[in-house]
Amino acid sequence: MKQIFDKIKVEKREHLVFVVLLIIYILLEIHLPTAVADVVDTIYGKIVLYLLAIHIFFNVNKVAGILSFIAAYTMIKRASKQTGTFAIKNYLPSEERKVLDFSKYNDFPYTLEEEEVARMAPLIRSDTPTGSDYKPVLESLHDAAPTDYEGVI
């Protein structure tokens, strides 16, 4: 075991433990708690994770830094799958796609009915009365108040 530690030139043994923990997290399908997944799946959570990975890369060890970038990516991916934003982004159609589908469905050919309506003469309205002979008949009101009644109902 001492030969392995000598071949892997690690400044501190804690870094080696940290690297092993990162490898275990990356390789195993470890589920995040719901509260952590909700926090990680925000833009601020992603920024904090990547800033932490950059800090580890520059201050701890280059191998640990690269593994922390990979672990941050897998954590963000697992959090998005757990909260459902992965499915929303990949499986629900966007508004542009919906508009294209609707325009495809609403693209009808010019029908015979539309041709006939276009050929018909337009209706002409005149403002002069037609001189009709009928008068409207008001039937029984069934105890309803007349329209010009101003009393208490």
What pLDDT score was predicted for residue 19? 87
Helix/strand/coil percent split, the chain, to 5: 60, 0, 40
Sheet strands (E) in 1-149? none
Average pLDDT over residues 42-52: 94
Give the pLDDT band of residue 121 (cuts 50, 70, 90). Answer: low
* Rounded Cα distance, 45 and 65, in Å: 18
Domain ranges in the chain?
A: 32-84
Question: CB of 145 within 8 A of CB of 153?
Answer: yes
Ranking 7-11, 27-31, 79-83, 117-121 by mean pLDDT, the lowest is: 7-11
- Looking up tokens 């800090």 gives 55
Question: CB of 26 within 8 A of CB of 70?
Answer: yes
Its pTM surpasses 0.85: no
Check residue 124 and give left, alpha or beta (phi > 0: left; psi -120 to 50: alpha): beta
Is the pLDDT at 123 greater than 70? The verdict is no
